[in-house]
Structure 1
Amino acid sequence: MTSSLETTPTASALRIAARGGRATRTRVAVLDILSRAGRPLSHDEVGVALDDGGVEHDRVTLYRTLDWLVTHELAHRVSGTDRVWRFNAAVDEGHGHAHFHCARCGSVFCLESLQPTIAATLPAGFRCERAELTFYGSCPNCR
């Protein structure tokens, strides 16, 4: 007697499919990790979380996955003074927020309550594709 397991797509799988992408195990796992993290994660931190979850991957696949998620507006990329990109899940389209980068420990925190509403007027012919608002200082743990 054979039985089939019914699987229900996760929220991450549905979001990926809605953007026209294949909901591969790595893409779904990475988006799940970013969604649960509560703070932006580096490539290495995401890799460790994938390892901990038993998801096989390699560095190149992880870089491509993160780039795909950013390109398709499912994740944001945040630059740090340590020259390390960190990634967090996009909450919804058009949602932007500021970040706080601790200069001592290197942690980056999302400032969800601070919504940038600056309307920049660009000269004719210019088009803004990305903007970041990041505050730098010491987090409570490092003060």
Structure 2
Amino acid sequence: MPAPRSRSSAAERAIRAAGERLTAPRAAVLQTLLAARQALTHHEIEQALASRLAVDRVTVYRVLDWLVSLGLAHRIAGEDRTWRFLATHGEAHATHAHFMCSRCGRTVCLDEVAVPPAVKVPRGFEPSHVELNVKGVCAACR
């Protein structure tokens, strides 16, 4: 499924505004993430790209790290210790919750779930990131 053009255009503008180049591998990985309905592992992204572009494993890792550094994607650690990646969809996406299926590993964003902007931590500690993961069984595994 192709990514909606408006989301793709916004991401491309952000890349240009950062003074970066949108190479063929970068564009292909970005389009794959924008079109995904759930978080994808590195391996799933490689498989999705295999039929349209020859990209080696290291390049995919580098592109994913690059997209995360630009704020165009985020990564979620699965229970299986495998990173999963999702495209970031605007400012509201900065802090949000995820649902993680404990059977198949499917991970989706829960944009409607409010994550507290501040968490009380012990004196002298400073939080830098809040993650909220809801674990259970997805509809396909039920």
**Pairwise same-fold verdict (TM > 0.5):** yes
Q: 1:18-54 CA deviation, whole Å, 9 max, x = no partner?
A: 23321111111111111110111100111111113x1
Q: Is 1:66 aligned to residue 68 of structure 2? A: no
Q: Deviations over 1:77-100 (max 9, x none)?
A: 001001110000010135232111
- Partners of 1:127 and 1:20 lie apart in 2 by 31
Instruction: Name the structure 1 match of 2:100.
Output: 101
1:122 CA drift (Å): 4.3
In 2, Cα distance between the equivalents of 1:93 and 1:118? 13
Deviation at 1:118, TM superposition (A): 3.9
Contact 2:11 2:72 in 1 (8 A): no
Query: How far off is 1:65 after superposition?
Result: 0.6
Give the greater-gyration-radius structure (CA).
1
Aligned residues: 134
Give the aligned CA root-mean-square deviation in angstroms.
2.0
Q: Which residue does 1:3 correspond to in 2?
A: none
Counterpart of 2:114 in structure 1: which amino acid? Q
Q: Where does residue 140 of structure 1 map in the other structure?
A: 139
Q: Which has the higher helix share?
A: 2
Inter-partner Cα distance in structure 2 for 1:140 and 1:58: 33
Contact 1:77/1:88 (<8 A) preserved:
yes
Secondary structure at the residue paired with 1:116?
coil
Tell me which residue corresponds to 2:27: 28
Unpaired segments ≥5 residues, structure 2: 1-7
Q: Is the 8 A contact 1:73 1:93 kept in 2?
A: no
- Structure 1: stretches of 5+ with no match in the other structure: 1-8
TM-score, length-scaled by structure 1: 0.82
Residues 59 and 22 from structure 1, CA distance in 2 versus in 1: closer, same or farther, beyond 3 angstroms? same
